[in-house]
Amino acid sequence: MFDCDVLVVGGGIIGLSTAYALSRAAPGTRVTVLEKEPGPARHQTGRNSGVIHSGIYYRPGSLKARYAVRGAAEMVKFCAEYGLPHEVTGKLIVATDRAELPRLHALVQRGRENGIPVRELGPAQISAYEPHIGGIAAIHVGTTGICDYGAVAERLAEASGAEVRYGARVTAVDRRPWGVAVRTADGAVVRARALVNCAGLHCDAVARLAGDEPGMRIVPFRGEYYELARPELVRGLVYPVPDPAFPFLGVHLTRGVDGGVHVGPNAVPALAREGYGRLVVRPGELAGTLAWPGTWAIARRHWRYGAGEVRRSLSKAAFTEAVRRLLPEVRPEDLRAAPAGVRAQAVLRDGTLVDDFLIREAPRTVHVLNAPSPAATASLPIGREVARRALAHLDG
């Protein structure tokens, strides 16, 4: 009667990590993954900066803090075990203005509460790590690293032993007391005892297909990147001091596993769930975003911040100005446009930006409703938690 025991919707790193965790927690469990794209990791997983985050930013005790700290160590071990490109580089978080010092000191405290090794640096010590970076104080976080999350996702798919169906977009979900039946765009029907929704940018839509009101909507934010034409200016990873009012870390400098240095991202509203270009507009998706009351609440609350992000999106000179706070030598001609990403940010009805991973359950179903950065870093622990919940539904 069943085609599989657990059906996972979404072939990004969270869905594939869940499949991998299921194969280890319950060998013999039949797992199918449905992914609408022709291959894995085509959206958030494959379009980020490749950073293995330490977990320093996140509230002690939160899922983000617990899973990022644990996940960073596990991700390094996973990459080493499977021969995937990675490096533990450490990173600097740099204050360029005295007004940022209290926030920098608060990060030191938060890092220590989360069990992360943190060193405080003065200007001379900053120069020893990064000769071209300007700053009045910094902290060095030793456990930050880099990897290729697209390669990680491919390896998870192989190692899970799951049946992964590409080009399988979900169009209908019929949930019954015995399980679920899911129809894909080509008319195929897959029957399973439990459903796991890891659809990322479309997770709220899949939840509603299943008959569940998730109480949030995904509001997509495009993050635009540049590549540094003079990569010798940056040795490793350099971040500004983040503003705790926002879930975005600000424009930072990241030397990737390929040796290139990415600069960015900013965070501007996208006009489509997969709006990687400024001119990509999907009227139905945009209308859905605008119909959600939380969208307007964000706009009212953060319009000044948003206006600055849009300015940096439209003006390379303004973007360069933001980068110069960290890297004074950079010139507009040093920045070459690179592929953008889109962050799937869950927003509540009152405009609250959900700041932790959000996993909810319904009969025979587990929904992963908020898994932006550092979800790639934390993907192995998240996958185990989602798998644990899915297996509990099989016993029910």
**Residue range 127-139, pLDDT digits in tens:** 999 999 999 999 9
Q: In the CATH hierarchy, which fold is given to the domain comprising 1-87+146-215+350-395?
A: FAD/NAD(P)-binding domain (3.50.50)
Please state, in angstroms and rounded to a whole number, the distance separating the CA atoms of residues 106 and 3. 51
Q: What is the pLDDT of residue 292?
A: 97
Residue 259 confidence (pLDDT) above 70: yes
Mean pLDDT of the region 249-268: 92
pLDDT band at 66 (very low <50, low <70, confident <90, very high): very high
| Average pLDDT for 65-92 | 97
Percentage with pLDDT > 90 across the chain: 93
- Residue 192 is predicted with a pLDDT of 98
pLDDT at 217 over 90: yes
Q: Do residues 344 and 224 make contact, with C-beta atoms less than 8 angstroms apart?
A: no
Mean pLDDT of 72-97: 97
Residues 395, 388 contacting (CB under 8 angstroms): no
Q: Tell me the pTM.
A: 0.96
Q: State yes or no: pLDDT of 246 exceeds 80.
A: no
The one-letter amino acid at 215: G
Q: Is the pLDDT of residue 247 over 80?
A: no
